[in-house]
Amino acid sequence: MDREKSQVLEGIVSVVANVVLFAGKFWAGLVTGSIALIADAWHTLSDSLSSVIVIIAVKLSNQKPDKKHPFGHGRWEQIATLIIAFILAIIAYEFFANSIVRFNNRNAVEYGTLALVVIIVSIVLKEALAQYAFYIGKKTDNLSVKADGWHHRTDALSSVVVLVGIIFAKNFWWMDSVLGMIIALILFYATFKIAKEAITKMLGEKPDENLITKISEVVKIVYDGDLNLHHFHIHNYVTHQELTFHIKLESNLTIEKGHTIATDIENIIYEQLGIIATIHVEPLDFEHSTD
């Protein structure tokens, strides 16, 4: 799968579908006077904006490393994810505030068949877009595409909430206002989820035990002895990962021999796992203050 092309295609499909859905929801919202439907429409349009950001971020992140950016531009994807989260937070706040005003004013809404049809179509299409984005995001390990998927998912969920409201609106005057508040809370939750993952990646993560186990198994291909692998650190630059760790060798080995062992291990890790490794060699009897 071509990483860049698949991500850009996801963004384009998302933009086209969301613009069409926005027009349908907004029209239905104007006809019925429903703040929940109009809020849901703007939520859908915000998906288009986030998808545009994804496309731009993909183009920026796939630039080759240069003198000023020797580790590449991959973290543009994480920056884009934070921008999407920020947009979601603003939209959520506006919806919540407007819903409270309508609740205090005791505004009621009468939904019709048009609203029902538009919402059902929206739920089906948005969940399909979410599944597509999650698939591409998983295949390419792109956080901003995954964030776009969450954006689609929250839009589908908010449409489900509106659908429930349409069913019970005749019996409860406050239904539209409360639905607006619930949609806002869904948006706030999505903001938290996608921002947390992006920030965690940017701050740096400890390699998980599965990765350490894989590395240990790969190392045995070129060196069967106990090297006491430790002090693992991984740096995620999105388009590639860089790993550093320490090994211990017999003190009587020559510098050349130690270098050869470390280089062989670095090469096999790159061949087998696609990770750029840098290994620090220590004498067997050496102990860190943190050991």
Same domain, 16 and 155: yes
Q: Does 288 fall in a domain?
A: no
pLDDT for 284 equals 80
d(CA 127, CA 184): 18
pLDDT for 213 equals 86
Same domain, 137 and 224: no
Residue after which a domain boundary falls, among 183, 203, 223: 203
How many independent structural domains does the chain possess? 2
Residue after which a domain boundary falls, among 203, 235, 256: 203
Q: What DSSP state is assigned to residue 71?
A: T
Same domain, 127 and 179: yes
Residue after which a domain boundary falls, among 156, 171, 203: 203
Q: Which domain holds residue 164?
A: 3-203
Specify burial of residue 122 (Cβ count, 10 A radius: 0-12, 13-18, 19+).
Answer: buried
- Sequence length of the chain is 291
Which residue type does 211 have?
L
d(CA 146, CA 142): 6
Same domain, 194 and 259: no
Please identify every stretch of the chain with a pLDDT value under 70, giving residue numbers as ranges.
Answer: 1-4, 7, 36, 43, 46-47, 49-50, 54, 58, 61-62, 65, 69-75, 107-112, 142-144, 169, 204-205, 237-240, 288-291
Sheet bearing 230-236, strands edge to edge: 230-236, 241-249, 276-283
The pTM score is 0.57
